[in-house]
Structure 1
Amino acid sequence: MRGSSCVLMSVLLMIADGLIVKGPSGPLVAPLGSSVVLPCSVDELLSVKDLEVEWRRTDSEALVHLYQEGESRTESQQQDYQDRAHFFTDQIQHGNFSLRLDDLRAEDEGQYKCKVYIQQESGETVVQIKVNAERLLVSGSSRSISASVGEDVTLNCSVDSHIPPGDFEEVTWTKTDEDIQVLLYQDNETHSSNERYRDRVEFFPAEIPKGNFSLRLKNVRTEDKGVYMCQVFAGGLSANATVLLEQLGFSASHIMVLILCISASGSALLLCCLIYCRSQNDDLLLQMSLVICPNIFLFIAFVLWGVTEGSLNETVACCTLYILRPLMLCSAAPYKRGFTGNAFTLMIENFLFSTVVYSVLFKKALEKSLNFAEFDRIILIVLFVIVLLPCPLFIIAVLAEIFGKLGERIGDILLVLALISFDILPSLQFILLFYAFGSASGGFFIVAVLPVLTTVTRYNWDHKCGVKMGCSPLVQRSVWSVLMLLMNAVMLYFYIMALESEKDRIGWACVIGFLQLIWTVWMYARSFKDWDIPTCVPVYLLGSVVLVELNAAALMTELILKSVNGKGALGDLRIIVFSSECLCLLPLLISLVAAPLIPKITTCLQKEHRTQRRTRITAGSESSDRSRI
């Protein structure tokens, strides 16, 4: 009897004790936004049959998570915990009923009860969560921001934190869709490293102590459209907020660019038609208008484009081109009453254009030379002066010739020096670029290329190839042109290698290729003493009409695409502008090479015309004789 009483007492004690559920020994402390695991387990799970686990808040009895009939019942969860409270399903068979709570919030602080039911037994444990008082909340704009091009806009970023203003380690504004750092606040100083946003972005200094790191973006461009992120680092914590800038509209400058492009295109077509209709009158005014007016329209269009959208390099190069284009077009004009086509016009264009282009490159080189040694900076400046020396020498020589102030001998000396320096100008420019942007390996190429250039350009082609070798003028000129074009192609490749670290190296390559081609045409005229450029109607029409239409269309297309998509098709208009200019110069070079054939072709055409005329006259007389008979 006593034995049976002891057994019954043991069973009653086991029932009274129930299922032993283990939890943590103390409160769980976690920072805001983190994930925390709430422990809940039993030593040994005999069976998962009829297993049920409930996680609830003790203060509100809100259901955090429910495991029932072998699966999680997410539809029964409180709305605040959906997609944030998760079970370790693969650990249930081992008696682990822990809960992972993601994206911890301030309101998650409190006590949680884990209650386990297994068949006829049950047990529970309580887990307490304490949210770390240190928090860093960054808020931006809840809605996307729209602005018109040319306006100023503010991108909001405010920090809600107990951290003192002096403890902010770093605040970074980034354009996330292009991975561009817009503005950096570090060590109580503001830094702007990207050229696109330089002098256009700023914080509000008086607002920084209040935790306001809003960004002011001035003179908004179409390329500014996109997503911006404000990221804050302080007290070992970090947080960020994003702002969307969209719906950029056309500005007054954009509308003016479109009007100017349409005006340039329309005026080129209209003047061309008028010249064609009045070609017998040889109207010089119409010819000069066709050469000047469309190019002036495009010059102003590119100035406005540069103010609102384009980079300094793109704008300066394109604007300089359209100011100097009339010089080249006048050279190939078919009606030359009042002005003559001469290779010196191309030389002047090359002088002026090289001065502008290499001044811009020198500015970039000076910025890069801040890391150079003092001696290297001095060498860079000396090289730049040598590269630009031919232009003032030529100008002084021309002025001395006109006014006669320096004497004929001094004028001749200055002109000879200018011409000699112009002969080696590409090599000097090559050395400057490689020294400023390239590497020492370029020096070995310079040693090889200088003798070849000197041989090709200064070789006595008329005497040695014509008299001694018996080559026809066409063969002499063709061989010279092929050699020069190959040499220019090789040099252009090394130019691109020298500018490899520059983002706009393709645009610079197109500009330098154009300069090399002008230099080649001039050196051809000098090598063969062929100063007069032949009348070339296709080149004249290509340069004055077709290229104007093409470049106006390219500028309008780029502007519209950037306004709609925030990004253009080309990214750099120099690619299309200077590539097309090279296509205009190549026919000019071909016409110079084929100059010896032009008299023969003209003679053959005249003979053919006379023969056809005699045939018509003879046929007419024979038919009249028959009619009399």
Structure 2
Amino acid sequence: MVKLLVSDVAWVVFLTFTLTASEGFQLQGPSGPLVAQLGGSVLLPCAAESPLPLEELEVEWRRADSGALLHLFQEGEERPESQDHVYAGRAHFFTEEVARGNYSIMLHNVTMQDAGNYTCKVFTNVESSNIIVEVYLERLWVSGGGVVFAHAADEVVLNCSVDSHIPADKLEEVTWRRKDKTLVLLYQDGEVVSESSDPKYQGRVQFYSEDISKGDLSLRLKDIRTEDKGEYICTAHSGDLSANTTVVLKALGFSNVHISILVLCTITLLYTLGYTILAWLLLRKKENSPTACLIHFSRFLCPDILLGICFILWGFAEGSLGEASACATLNFVRVLLLMKTAPYLDQLPGIFHKLKTLGAPAVYTMVTIVVLSVHYRSKQNLLEALSTMDLYAT
């Protein structure tokens, strides 16, 4: 009886030792998620602490979600015929390394669908073990976009941010452009290149965040003009990767300057209509009276001055200073020309008679100054003109 009891205890100890020893071998995988490049190759690591006998070894690599078979190693060799058609010819074992306990595979021509979890499962006749390998695609995503509303002369922020495994400070280039390709703002090689912006945006745009490395690529646009409304595209570049988002700016209402311009234009219209009727009535009674001539004279003088002021205000409000100054000058020049050719000029005080001799030089001088200042408002145009003059001089 005692011998039987000792025998049973020995048998239990033996079974316990055997089961403990065969709890399963350990597989080693990557320490974290793997990052793969679209179109490139990625190594999916899987290895045993010690080699396992090839004659009883079976290695399966499968998608964790769908169970699709990437590759199979069985009976001492690869089984490419068993691969799912999605991975056929793209997944390979390192055959010579399998005998050393290396069960990793290389996945080539990575696609967007290859992102996800993979299971490496290793079997022997008596035991098995598995690990999960997670694969991310190296991506460059830009978020933001949407519709933004703003009033003229306001300041607005157009949102854009980068979401990527690539650090934002590694971005090679960030551009903000209008839909018509007009360059609004450029960030290149770690610096903001403000001078490359289109002239109508220079001094009015900047990145919302001074530290782009935090991933905030938003654009701050100041002194909004009605012409600023439209689509703005934020694009980020890193190597062969690029991504973009679109923000639509819709301007609403007018600023105080715009309202002032509207009021002046209305006053000009009413003034012109009222004085036209009054001048017609007076000239009808006594055509050459000094009073009638002064009224007729003020009828074209005041509206042109008011419209000239309107053009100047519009230039400040909309930034088209060259065009506004040219239009304002033409209005003032028109006053000089009309006074010079007025048939009733002799009826006015003597100071106006000098317009017959000074009118033409004044007109030519004003037009010349304005045209030259508009055309040569940029240093580049002036340099080109000077170089052309040098060519003719030689």
Task: Check conservation: 2:205, 2:221, Cα contact below 8 A.
Answer: yes
Residue of 170, 176, 183 corresponding to 1:167:
170
Residue of 313, 316, 319 corresponding to 2:328:
319
Q: Which residue in the other structure is 1:348 paired with?
A: 362
Q: Report the secondary structure of 2:216's partner residue.
A: coil
Assess, with a 3 A threshold, how the Cα gap between structure 1 residues 163 and 58 changes in structure 2: closer, same or farther: closer
Assess, with a 3 A threshold, how the Cα gap between structure 1 residues 258 and 62 changes in structure 2: closer, same or farther: farther
Q: Report the secondary structure of 1:301's partner residue.
A: helix
Deviation, 1:62, is 9.6
2:132 maps to 1:104: no
Q: Which residue in the other structure is 2:80 paired with?
A: none
2:182 maps to 1:180: yes
Deviation, 1:343, is 5.5
Deviation, 1:306, is 0.7
Q: Which residue in the other structure is 1:416 paired with?
A: none
Residue of 118, 135, 160 corresponding to 2:139:
135
Deviation, 1:302, is 0.7
Superposed CA offset, 1:504-546 (max 9, x none): xxxxxxxxxxxxxxxxxxxxxxxxxxxxxxxxxxxxxxxxxxx
Q: Report the secondary structure of 2:297's partner residue.
A: helix
CA distance in 1, matches of 2:368, 2:153: 32
**Map 1:179-328 → 2, pairs under 5 A:** 179-191=181-193, 192-279=196-283, 280=286, 281-283=289-291, 284-328=293-337
Q: Report the secondary structure of 2:376's partner residue.
A: helix
Deviation, 1:160, is 2.2
Task: Check conservation: 2:178, 2:231, Cα contact below 8 A.
Answer: yes
Q: Report the secondary structure of 1:172's partner residue.
A: strand
**Map 1:8-157 → 2, pairs under 5 A:** 31=37, 59-60=64-65, 98=86, 104=112, 108-111=115-118, 131-132=135-136, 134-141=138-145, 143-157=146-160
Residue of 342, 367, 375 corresponding to 1:333:
342
Assess, with a 3 A threshold, how the Cα gap between structure 1 residues 167 and 343 changes in structure 2: closer, same or farther: same
Q: Report the secondary structure of 2:153's partner residue.
A: coil
Q: Which residue in the other structure is 2:380 paired with?
A: 367
CA distance in 1, matches of 2:35, 2:365: 74
CA distance in 2, matches of 1:269, 1:61: 81
**Map 1:491-510 → 2, pairs under 5 A:** none
Assess, with a 3 A threshold, how the Cα gap between structure 1 residues 99 and 166 changes in structure 2: closer, same or farther: closer
Assess, with a 3 A threshold, how the Cα gap between structure 1 residues 213 and 350 changes in structure 2: closer, same or farther: same
Q: Which amino acid aligns with 1:263?
A: I
Task: Check conservation: 2:311, 2:327, Cα contact below 8 A.
Answer: yes
Assess, with a 3 A threshold, how the Cα gap between structure 1 residues 346 and 265 changes in structure 2: closer, same or farther: farther
Q: Which amino acid aligns with 2:301?
A: I
CA distance in 1, matches of 2:240, 2:135: 16
Deviation, 1:227, is 1.2
Task: Check conservation: 1:156, 1:215, Cα contact below 8 A.
Answer: yes
Deviation, 1:357, is 2.1
CA distance in 1, matches of 2:182, 2:139: 28
Assess, with a 3 A threshold, how the Cα gap between structure 1 residues 129 and 323 changes in structure 2: closer, same or farther: farther
Q: Report the secondary structure of 2:141's partner residue.
A: strand
Task: Check conservation: 1:137, 1:161, Cα contact below 8 A.
Answer: yes
Assess, with a 3 A threshold, how the Cα gap between structure 1 residues 29 and 252 changes in structure 2: closer, same or farther: closer
Deviation, 1:97, is 5.0
Deviation, 1:361, is 2.5
Superposed CA offset, 1:396-428 (max 9, x none): xxxxxxxxxxxxxxxxxxxxxxxxxxxxxxxxx
Deviation, 1:248, is 2.9
CA distance in 1, matches of 2:207, 2:63: 47
Segments of 5+ residues of structure 2 without an aligned counterpart are 1-33, 42-61, 69-83, 89-108, 120-131
Percent identity between matched residues is 39
Deviation, 1:278, is 0.5
Deviation, 1:353, is 2.2
With normalisation by structure 2, the TM-score equals 0.62
Task: Check conservation: 1:221, 1:309, Cα contact below 8 A.
Answer: yes
Task: Check conservation: 2:184, 2:197, Cα contact below 8 A.
Answer: yes
CA distance in 2, matches of 1:277, 1:361: 45
CA distance in 1, matches of 2:241, 2:210: 24
Q: Report the secondary structure of 1:163's partner residue.
A: coil
Q: Which amino acid aligns with 2:139?
A: R
**Map 1:575-594 → 2, pairs under 5 A:** none
Assess, with a 3 A threshold, how the Cα gap between structure 1 residues 164 and 35 changes in structure 2: closer, same or farther: closer
Deviation, 1:369, is 5.1
Q: Which amino acid aligns with 2:200?
A: R
CA distance in 1, matches of 2:325, 2:308: 10
Coordinate RMSD, CA, aligned: 3.7
Q: Report the secondary structure of 2:211's partner residue.
A: helix
Deviation, 1:168, is 1.9
CA distance in 2, matches of 1:166, 1:270: 66
2:371 maps to 1:357: yes
Task: Check conservation: 1:173, 1:229, Cα contact below 8 A.
Answer: yes
Q: Which amino acid aligns with 2:359?
A: T
Which structure: greater strand fraction? 2
Q: Which amino acid aligns with 1:295?
A: D
Q: Which amino acid aligns with 1:171?
A: V
CA distance in 2, matches of 1:160, 1:239: 10
2:161 maps to 1:158: yes
Task: Check conservation: 2:116, 2:136, Cα contact below 8 A.
Answer: no
Task: Check conservation: 1:168, 1:233, Cα contact below 8 A.
Answer: yes
Deviation, 1:233, is 1.4
CA distance in 2, matches of 1:300, 1:164: 52
Q: Which amino acid aligns with 1:324?
A: V
Q: Report the secondary structure of 1:197's partner residue.
A: coil
Deviation, 1:304, is 1.7
Task: Check conservation: 1:139, 1:241, Cα contact below 8 A.
Answer: yes
Q: Which amino acid aligns with 1:175?
A: R
Task: Check conservation: 1:163, 1:235, Cα contact below 8 A.
Answer: no
Task: Check conservation: 2:376, 2:382, Cα contact below 8 A.
Answer: no
CA distance in 2, matches of 1:272, 1:99: 87
